[in-house]
Amino acid sequence: MDKIYIRDLEFIGYHGVFEEEKKLGQKFFVSLELTTNLREAGLNDDITKTTHYGEVAETVKKVFFQKKYDLIETLAEDIAREVLLNYPLISELKLEIKKPWAPVGIPLKDVSVEITRKWNEVYISLGSNMGNKKENLERAIKEIANIKDTFIIKESKIIETEPFGYKEQDDFLNSCIGIKTLLTPREILKELLSIEKKMGRERKIKWGPRIIDLDIIFYGKEVIEEDDLIVPHPYMEYREFVLKPLEEIIPNFVHPLLLKRVSTLKKELENEKN
């Protein structure tokens, strides 16, 4: 991808933990590296096909002066969020804030923080086999759409499937959605667990009945192996209730560990069943 650089925007700000910093002010420098696609703008000499760096600079200025921050880490987060939310052609940014007059007590050039933030595509499996199953799925999708800095970009049809593992229960309704989010994998997990709890999910029997089940299947191409968070979702390649709706919305997505397309995984599972 292409880059736009905005280097060393200079401001006098009133950010810092110490009271003197908030009263006297000091110099700050803000730099951004914006990841985008400049091809169409370059070929057509058309400013509407690119990101106006002057407007980005004004956005940085607006956030910089909107309040007094204790931490430049928090200031960096707020600037990054505001830029990504307001400039849709930017898929990722790297942001550095330098604080050359930081009250360290030792001569130094500057203190700085640097963060990288980006839009992430996440795919989530939904299932329900209790109560009004269709309404449960629809409510869960609405709840997900209300998560901060998150937008639904793809949604599969609802399918009916037989229960997996524990058979003595009602059939499921399942679907998959794709979201675009600024949240981290763990933040998304926390939000999904909160929605499950809000909707009355109880974990009594492994693979047992559930009013709603929400699982992260893919978080971009990331591979995560933690005690309570595994991505891509383990054993998804053996689960028709995941693969069938997932293939509808991302048939050509390549599993980062199995190195196979979703459509191929679904076909292989169908062949095994036959």
pTM (2 decimals)?
A: 0.92
Pull the structure tokens for residue 195.
């929605």
Q: Is 107 exposed, middle or buried (0-12, 13-18, 19+ CB in 10 A)?
A: exposed
pLDDT in tens, the chain (274 residues): 899 999 999 999 999 999 999 999 999 999 999 999 999 999 999 999 999 999 999 999 999 999 999 999 999 999 999 999 999 999 999 999 999 999 988 989 999 999 999 999 999 999 999 999 999 999 999 999 999 999 999 999 999 998 876 666 789 999 999 999 999 999 999 999 999 999 998 776 666 688 999 999 999 999 999 999 999 999 999 999 999 999 999 999 999 999 999 999 999 999 988 7
Residues of the chain within CATH 3.30.70.560 domain(s) are: 120-273
Q: Is 7 exposed, middle or buried (0-12, 13-18, 19+ CB in 10 A)?
A: exposed
Could you tell me which CATH number the domain at 2-118 has?
3.30.1130.10
3-state secondary structure of 62: helix
Task: Find out whether 42 and 81 touch, Cβ atoms under 8 Å.
Answer: no
Strands 120-128 and 172-181: antiparallel
Which has the closest alpha carbon to 118: 184, 215, 40, 187? 184
Task: Find out whether 232 and 223 touch, Cβ atoms under 8 Å.
Answer: yes
Strands 92-99 and 26-36: antiparallel
Q: Kindly give, in sequence order, each residue whose CB lies less than 8 Å from that of residue 222, ignoring residues fewer than 6 positions away.
A: 185, 231, 256
Q: Kindly give, in sequence order, each residue whose CB lies less than 8 Å from that of residue 149, ignoring residues fewer than 6 positions away.
A: 81, 85, 181, 182, 183
Q: Which residues are catalytic?
A: 99
CA distance 211 to 127: 8
Task: Find out whether 34 and 6 touch, Cβ atoms under 8 Å.
Answer: yes
Superfamily for the 120-273 domain: 7,8-Dihydro-6-hydroxymethylpterin-pyrophosphokinase HPPK (3.30.70.560)
Pull the structure tokens for residue 118.
């980006």
3-state secondary structure of 37: coil
Return the number of other C-beta atoms located less than 10 Å from residue 129's C-beta: 21
**pLDDT for 119-129, tens place per residue?**
999 999 999 99
- Which amino acid, residue 175? S
Which has the closest alpha carbon to 163: 203, 194, 209? 209
- Which position has the token pair 């937008």? 151
Pull the structure tokens for residue 266.
């679904």
Residues of the chain within CATH 3.30.1130.10 domain(s) are: 2-118
